[in-house]
Amino acid sequence: MQDDYVFPTERLVVPRLEPGKQPLVLVGCGSFSPITFLHLRMFEMARDHARLHSCYEVVGGYLSPVNDAYKKPGLVSAVHRVSMCELACQSMSDWIMVDPFEARHDTYLPTARVLDHFEHEINTVKGGVEIEVLDPETGETSVERRKARIMLLAGSDLIQTMSEPGVWAQQDLHHILGLYGCFIVERADSEIDQALFKDSSVHSRNALALYRRNIFMVQQLVRNDVSSTKVRLFIKRGMSVRYLLPNTVIDYIRQNGLYSSDRAPSSEPASRPTTSSSTPDSLQKARR
């Protein structure tokens, strides 16, 4: 990984937490080839769910694009995918960031290792996140640091793969679900089978059942089934993808000739559109 890497923190908010609330940082790992509006909506849905139905308050969100060692059809170079994610965040959000740590690695990084990275950067290096604390006697506020909970954000396909034998290393599953937890956004065309969370016996080591309290299911109240796969297909066929992903990303795809043919595009951006927004805003990955 390059020596110029800097962990992004400029968009971590400083909330005034309600009593009993704990700061939460959401991490969305995925290909993002390309990033779509649904990827961004997943962060918004999870933030609402956390505020309304949990003891957490979201203080930041991160997109973590996979690196080029993650061999998958339709995966353009990490340089392009990181650039598209940054453009999407800059033009569409004020609290979601892009962390290139995973994308810059030459070798595949397990999801557990990626979450460890966020835990280290936020809670060890930074000493937690800043929050406002209200003094009930004086009515004055002060800023202090508290440890943030780090959680994975993903689509419901992730839960399905976690229940399939041999797809995930059991050690990684227990690490991810036990130490961190996850927010899972249901797909538009399916509901989660609750049987996935049940023990088959009193001696079961089913990670989904053991750590059910750390898994938050987020319902899509407005159905959206846009996917990167569909976007790539539309582009290859010369069809419009407007309103499926940010205009800045569409411009970048067109200017760099991405997804229009089976021929691999250059790994270096031909150009990067500028945005009028001065305040940049972030999934699905079935990974071992």
Q: Is 97 helix (H, G, I), strand (E, B) or coil?
A: strand
DSSP string, 231-255: HHHHHHTT---BTTB-HHHHHHHHH
> Which residue is associated with the tokens 């110029």?
4
Q: For domain 22-225, is the CATH number 3.40.50.620?
A: yes
pLDDT tens profile 223-279: 999 999 999 999 999 999 999 999 999 999 999 999 998 655 666 777 555 443 333
- 34 beta partners: none
Please report the pLDDT score of residue 71 as a whole number. Answer: 81
* Residue 180 binned pLDDT confidence (cut-offs 50, 70, 90): very high
Least confident of 63-67, 137-141, 281-285: 281-285
Please report the pLDDT score of residue 163 as a whole number. Answer: 80
H or E, element range at 16: none
* Residue 203 binned pLDDT confidence (cut-offs 50, 70, 90): very low
Domain boundaries, the chain: 22-225
H or E, element range at 46: helix 37-53
What's the mean per-residue pLDDT of the chain?
88
For the question of whether the overall pTM of this predicted structure is more than 0.75, the answer is yes
Least confident of 50-54, 78-82, 183-187: 183-187
Cβ proximity of 91 and 275 under 8 Å: yes
Q: Would you say residue 205 has pLDDT above 80?
A: no
